[in-house]
């Protein structure tokens, strides 16, 4: 009887906390009040050392907003579908200013159940995560709106979406100084940085509506027509002011698969102003053959109605 009462009380407390989070979600943003007095400079353009790395991503100041063009998910039978009329989110990457990058920088915040790579260049094995999915972290912070958006636009292939999200945080956000736990101050709440990162990814993704930018230039998915690399790059540069990286697979790099938008950021990666740059990575798409921007399998996508 006593045990039953204790269990009931525990469930009631949990339900009360969940309701409170829905009515008044905990904040996720960092404590960056000290940044107000810091010099304003774009990442990778500073001539002196950054004094407070919570104020500007350091290192990792070459910020890439990355997107996928997949044509199927492999989990359609589970309702995991691609967003119609939109590319999908890949991530937000903190490359170093010279184009190199670090990965999986904090094993205490390693939530990736299937790390890739499994072993770092120095030989360190990355321990697979076996705890609750990162989707539960978002729920704990009372953000069903964010979770809904991510399930529409941040879609995995061949595995649950939450595994993809966990991979992106663990591999990249842990190497971004503005998401360091210390930046959230003494009132830090567990997993606050994780939810904050996902919000930042969504903000950056919304800055680059790839599907619409291409469509506005007459470039739409087609199983009959190919496009040149120059056509694709020119269409995107006309709207962003810079040439992104375009990634292609297939024979001779003739199937369009991904885009990376390179940026320097003024301020934090969470809220700072992104300034587009030409890609520092050479495209893997063919410069001599037509490039296929294939239509998706009709049963692999769904209508989404968010304002993009």
Active site residues per annotation: 90, 168, 172
**DSSP for residue 119:** B
Q: How many CB atoms lie within 10 A of CB 135?
A: 17
Q: Beta strand pairing status for 82-83 and 301-302?
A: parallel
DSSP-based three-state secondary structure for 65: strand
Cα within 13 Å of Cα(194), Cβ side:
28
Which regions of 35-136 does DSSP assign to beta strands (E)?
A: 62-68, 82-83, 88-95
How far apart (Å, rounded) are the C-alpha atoms in residues 183 and 224?
51
The separation between the first and the last C-alpha atoms of the chain, rounded to the nearest angstrom, is 54
- Environment class of residue 82 by beta-carbon count within 10 Å: exposed (0-12), middle (13-18) or buried (19+)? buried
Which regions of 57-136 does DSSP assign to beta strands (E)?
A: 62-68, 82-83, 88-95
Rounded to 5°, the CA angle 139-268-164 comes to 40
Q: What are the φ and ψ backbone dihedral angles of 104, each rounded to 5 degrees?
A: 50, 65
């Amino acid at each position: 009887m006593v045990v039953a009462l204790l269990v009931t009380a525990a469930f009631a407390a949990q339900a009360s906390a969940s309701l409170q989070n829905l009515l008044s979600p905990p904040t996720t943003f960092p404590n960056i009040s000290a940044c107000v007095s810091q010099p304003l400079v774009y990442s990778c353009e500073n001539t002196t050392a950054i004094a407070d790395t919570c104020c500007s991503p350091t290192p990792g100041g070459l910020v890439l907003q990355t997107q996928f063009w997949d044509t199927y998910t492999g989990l359609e039978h589970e309702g995991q579908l691609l967003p119609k009329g939109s590319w999908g989110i890949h991530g937000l990457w903190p490359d170093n200013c010279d184009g190199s990058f670090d990965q999986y920088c904090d094993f205490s915040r390693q939530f990736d159940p299937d790390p890739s790579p499994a072993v770092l260049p120095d030989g360190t094995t990355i321990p697979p995560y076996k705890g609750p999915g990162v989707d539960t972290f978002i729920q704990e912070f009372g953000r069903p709106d964010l979770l809904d958006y991510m399930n529409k636009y941040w879609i995995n292939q061949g595995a649950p979406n939450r595994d993809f999200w966990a991979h992106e945080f663990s591999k990249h956000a842990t190497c971004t100084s503005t998401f360091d736990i210390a930046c959230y101050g003494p009132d830090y709440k567990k997993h606050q940085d994780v939810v904050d990162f996902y919000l930042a990814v969504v903000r950056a993704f919304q800055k680059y509506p790839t599907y619409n930018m291409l469509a506005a230039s007459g470039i739409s998915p087609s199983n009959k027509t190919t496009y040149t690399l120059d056509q694709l790059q020119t269409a995107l540069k006309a709207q962003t002011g810079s040439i992104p990286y375009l990634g292609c697979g297939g024979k001779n790099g003739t199937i369009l698969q991904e885009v990376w938008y390179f940026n320097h950021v003024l301020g934090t990666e969470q809220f700072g102003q992104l300034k587009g740059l030409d890609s520092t990575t050479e495209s893997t798409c063919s410069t001599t053959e037509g490039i296929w921007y294939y239509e998706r399998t009709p049963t692999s996508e769904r209508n989404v109605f968010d304002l993009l």
